[in-house]
Amino acid sequence: MPSYTLRINNVKKTVSTDPDTPLLWVLRDLLDLTGTKFGCGKGLCGACTVQYKGNPVRSCTLAISSALEGDILTIEGLSPKEDHPVQRAWVELDVPQCGYCQSGQIMEAAALLSKNENLTDNDINAAMEGHICRCGTYSRIRKAIHLAAGKLEK
C-alpha cells in the first residue's frame, strides 16, 4: 500500500493506506484521533468536519490522496487547552446534549468566525446548514457562535 505524509495539527504523520481511504478513517483508525466523528459517510450530516487549508471539509468524503497539500486541523488541534473562543462559548452556554455532533459543529463554527466576525442569524444558519444535531441544540449553537464572535473582538 502507498505511504502518505500528512500535516495534522502542526505535526507530520505518515500512514500506509489505499489512496481512496477517506481522511476520516485515517484520523480515527490509523492515528487514533477519534474526536472527529463518523455520522453518515456521505457528507450529509457534518459530524466528520475538519479544516483543510483553513476551510471546513467533510473528512468522510475527502480521500487521503487529495488531502496532501495543506494543513489539516482537527478538534484535537483547535486549541491547546480548549480555550478557543468557540470552545469557551460552547462551555459557557452548556451547548451539548449527547455531544456527538459537536466536534463537527465547532470546527465549522471556528472556520466561519475566522473569515467573518460580524454574523447575522441568517449567516450562521447558512454556514451551519450541513450539520445535523439530533438532540436539537441548534439554538444554543447559534447563540454560542454569536458569543464567540464577541470574544474574538476583545
Partner 1 sequence: MKSTVDRRTFIKLTTAASGALLVGVYLQSCESDKPPAMVHTFSPLIKIDTDGWVTLIAKNPEIGQGVKTSLPMILAEELGAAWNKVKVVQADYDEIYEEQWAGGSYAIILNWDLMRTAGAKVRQVLIQAASKKMNKAVSELSTANGEVRHLKSGDALPFEALLTEATQIPLPEEVEFKPLDAFEIVGKHVPQVDLDTLVNGGMRYSIDIKLPEMVYATVLKNPVHNGGTGTWDDTATRAVNGVIDIVELNNKAYGGRLIGPNSPNFVNGIAVVANTTWAAFKGAEKLKVVWDNDGAQRESSDGLMERFRAQLDHTTVERKDGDITQAQRNAASNYEAVYEVPFLAHVPMEPMNCTVDFREDLCEVWAPTQNPEALQQGLIKLFGLQPEQIKIHLPRIGGGFGRRYYVDYAMDTAILSKKMGRPVKLTWTREEDIKHDWYRPASVHKMTASMDGNGKVSGWRHILANASRKTSLGRDGRPAGTEIDEYEFPAGFIANLQLEYGHVISDVPLGQWRAVGHSATAFAVHSFLDELAFLNKRDPIDYFLEFLGPARMVPVVDEYAFDAGRLIAVVEKVRQLSNWDSSLPKGQGRGFAARKGAGSFIAEVITVSTDKNGKVKILGVDAVVDCGVVINPSGARAQVEGAILDGLSAALYGEITVKDGATVQSNFHDYRWMRMGEMPEMRIEFIENDLPPRGLGEPPLPPAAPALANAIFAATGQRIRKLPIKNVELGT
Footprint of partner 1 (CB under 8 A): 1, 17-18, 21-22, 25, 28-30, 32-42, 44-45, 47, 74-76, 78-79, 82, 87, 90-91, 94, 96-103, 106, 122, 124-126, 128-129, 131-142
Other Cβ atoms within 10 Å of 16 Cβ, number = 10
CB-nearer residue toward partner 1: 83 or 114: 83
To partner 1, the closest distance from the beta carbon of 109 in angstroms equals 11
To partner 1, the closest distance from the beta carbon of 115 in angstroms equals 18
C-alpha cell at 16: 500506509
To partner 1, the closest distance from the beta carbon of 85 in angstroms equals 12
Q: Tell me the Cα Rg of the chain.
A: 15
Distance CA 63, CA 20 (A): 5
Count CA within 13 A, CB hemisphere, residue 38: 11
